[in-house]
Structure 1
């Protein structure tokens, strides 16, 4: 038990379902020691509301796992949380959870971090600029470029751009950005997923992948030249393909991952195939970070209707990635 890797799980927005699904980790059967980062009284109260009779104990770094219990690294909340009701005064607390997980990884205490959902709106309403876990952890670790990828339903879909208004996507997509994103995707599929020669399919930006310039020029001017350059370096990258046919089974059987150009081009397909069991992964970081594929679901908090399958999948993925990562 003492040799088990330790994975930090941040409990996320306290008014949402993050605390609820973290409680289910008390019965996790994976070969890993799990430490939930959050406010212990909050988790105890939520367990009582849900009628979950589990033992919650304070995390001791030099301790070991005890089956049937939930280890909690106590980080006090600013204001008592009410299920389903956001409070701007707890925004800083949510970020403290991420900071503690990051410090633990930096110090070798944790092998990876898994994050429960946060609410971007309430964090921004508190006066703290926050566009997402991906961007926050990139800034925290001084990583110049990261890549958001979701996995589930037999798919791995990465994004060239993430949380941007649609009108800004084309202007953001540059040769430099696309080269960096594809390089990171290729490298992490090798180093963190153990794929020696990953096969990547790339979507076009425009309908029909630009139709040879008649429906847009990004494919001819940016996407295709980058793909050709990386192919010359030995990477198995092909495209650009029209997004409306790219996700057919006859195409996907040739691929280990797909790169979509923007958030809602690739993720609706993946979430349709895997919702509730998908995993959000941040590539390019100098550590392992995975997350659930859903939001805070404020209306489900403390109702007993939230499911923890995506959280378990995220932990299982983080464990597998950390094992490959050790070998590199």
Structure 2
């Protein structure tokens, strides 16, 4: 309260002794005996509105429409959110922060501003097929979750505009060069058998190229044989498994021919004796199983053999002289 001194008797009126109010905001006292009056002037609080009115009979202004503030040139009521031009505005605490009356509202977007540049209203929203977001009732920052898509198991995947993850319309597949083959089965291409590998085998990366192998078995003769049984030579029997790769072969062991003039036919495995069993007497070929006389000796091809036949193709007849000693025919020359 501030005070000022006035005369109890003014030029206009005289003021009786006691209390008097020369104006709505002024309260005075004139003491007995008159003279100088003692007055107090009321201090009015700043009104918490922007459209206050002052009644001539009232000391302080009042807010007939209640507390309010400005949004630009518009007046909005205090203590609640008001939507204006896509914004949510609210009058602040009149005396907040700096101790002065705040006549302008504080405004924020009506919803959440997404990083795509769009404003979304409070609630759940889906800005893209792979993104799910929520804007809280008070707006501000949205909370979003983004789906992680698995790598498609194909090389010709498509992504539909309304779908999150790519799909394989033609099923799992892979490349053979620039050609696409289906997965999970063997495919013959250009003399090879190709198959898509396990997509995530090995290093954990998607394998887009097929693994190919020859369509059959590569023999040591340099030729490629198809799966199944095959005979690369007269003495060899082989088998190539269905999956190709390595052939399994068995080679026949031929007995040594019981003759010194054997022949081998191109389409036969083992040599044969077209003239029957025989041996040499010197350089002469003589039949086996018969005795013959030469130079006073009795000779015969040996009946025994060594291993799988005679020792060599130069087997000589054995001869007996009168003294019963056996000599080789080669020593009788």
Q: TM-score under structure 1 normalisation? A: 0.14
Q: Which has the higher strand share?
A: 2
- Structure showing greater Rg: 2
Q: Which has the higher helix share?
A: 1
Q: TM-score under structure 2 normalisation? A: 0.14
Task: Identify which of structures 1 and 2 has the higher relative contact order when contacts are C-alpha pairs closer than 8 Å and 6+ apart.
Answer: 1
